[in-house]
Amino acid sequence: MDSTSTLDRKQLIILLISILIVALCGIAYELIIGTISSYLLGNSVYQFSLTIGLFMFAMGIGSYLSKFFMKNLVTSFIIVEIVISLIGGLSSILLFMAFPLITAMYSLIMYSLILIIGTLVGFEIPILTRILSRKDSLRQSIANVLSLDYTGALIGSVLFPLVLLPQLGLVRSSFAIGLINASTAVVNTIFFKSHLKYPKTITAISVFFLGLLIILTALGTHLTKFAENHLYFDQIIYKKQTHYQKIVYTQSLITGEHRLFIDGHIQFCDRDEYRYHEALVHPVMSLPGSRENILVLGGGDGMAIREILKYPQVKRIHLVDIDPEITRFCSTFPEITRINKGSLKDPKVSIFNEDAFTYANRPGTLYDRIIIDLPDPHNEALNKLYSREYYKILKMRMNTGSYMVTQSSSPFYTRKSFWCIEKTMQNASLSTYSYKVTVPTFGIWGFHIGSVSGKIPDTFDIQVPTQFLNTTTMKFAGIFENDIARLNVPVNSIMEPKLYILYLQELTGSNIN
């Protein structure tokens, strides 16, 4: 029986709320899948564009298929809600478990989830519209459905970054959204019992999946840990999803080595991090000129500051890192403070938790040295911090005779990206000097020094105590063999983000345009 023309006021309200929830959950699943793929594969623009495009296409398929269902509309809607609650609820953990497999398998699962969830969401909206049109006019029904659909999408898109992701994380968020879908199915079985074809069976199935998702949500922390352990070889001893990134700190059960990961990308291993940080800091700090005022962009782990503090001439260090959690963690967590020697607590250090672009792009202190210790440009937000525009902004914050240095990824694994950074600095009217060292965790790693006052000396007199770097090492660091020699590459800018496209092409072997 499906005589929805006899809807009462309560049933009408339930249907209208259901429309809101359908849209909210649909956009949330879309954001979860896009975020996981960006987190695991990089290139957030590509991942979100693909997710949104496929999702909208699948909704179109679902809308088309809905026209073949003429009877039992409420029953169809509830069944679809149950199926979405299960598939959408499990989407996060399925993707995390699939990632260590071959890339093709992960992509197949990701595309399948997008298409299935999108088709089911697209199926629901026309069904609900047709149910409502039997009570109200078609014009009024369409207006109500679309207004609530757009409102639900807005709520879901705001709720995800502000509440779900930071409070629940990705796995528990998908369970929680699935729980909302299952709850909607149960509520509709209660209010539309007389309209259902198999009321007892559908009610039992709805309650079963509601109970299952309650259990999964309650076990979300344990399941998240299981999924993360599936991603990392080492034991996770700290993890935190912040508003900006996922922080994971691990310890090897075999060697005891500690590693810091941000959004799945390794930041350092305590066994050899000194090689990277000495190479980043000491060449630029050893150059002639004042060393009183230092700006560090990124470097929230405090390792670069540890090296800077070896210079007694330094009076002031400004550290700019967007995420307050990373600087809090690295200034208080014993295993980190042991490595950075408590550098973030030094009275010479002032921490600014804000965007590095915004910080530089306003009047303020002029610096003698700028040390850029940012993650590789694996997304468009980081790309702007390696752009021509940004280097021009940084020049305005430099004293005459001062220098900057930036980590520049690997001239071996990401050769085009490495030389793209150099060419971009030169295009911003900076003189450059390029060099590389070997860091076992990373392989061959490269850096570029930039000067606002002409040619940079090619000799570096390292006077402070180091574990690895010395004057002799730097004599060879500026030599680039044939397979890592300079290439003809484009200039990177905010308007034309060439760098992160090159970086992703080199990292994945793909041809992203």
Tally the C-alpha atoms within 13 A of residue 142's C-alpha that lie toward its C-beta. Answer: 3
Q: For residue 31, give the amino acid letter.
A: L
The 3-state DSSP class for residue 238 equals strand
Q: Residues 6 or more apart from 391 whose CB is under 8 A from it? A: 404, 424, 425, 428, 430, 450
Q: Residues 6 or more apart from 33 whose CB is under 8 A from it? A: 51, 91, 95, 110, 113, 114
DSSP-derived secondary structure for 277-308:
HHHHHHHHHHSSS--SEEEEEE-TTSHHHHHH
The 3-state DSSP class for residue 320 equals strand
Measured distance CA(386)–CA(376) in Å, rounded? 9
Strands (DSSP E) along 308-442, which ranges? 316-320, 349-352, 367-373, 398-407, 431-439
Catalytic one of 263, 301, 368, 373: 373
Active-site annotation holds for 483: no
CA distances from 315 to 25, 79, 150, 293, 295 (A): 53, 67, 54, 6, 11
What's the DSSP call for residue 343?
Answer: G
Cα dihedral across residues 460, 463, 467, 472: positive or negative: positive
Tally the C-alpha atoms within 13 A of residue 121's C-alpha that lie toward its C-beta. Answer: 31
Cα dihedral across residues 28, 29, 34, 36: positive or negative: positive
What positions carry a catalytic annotation? 373
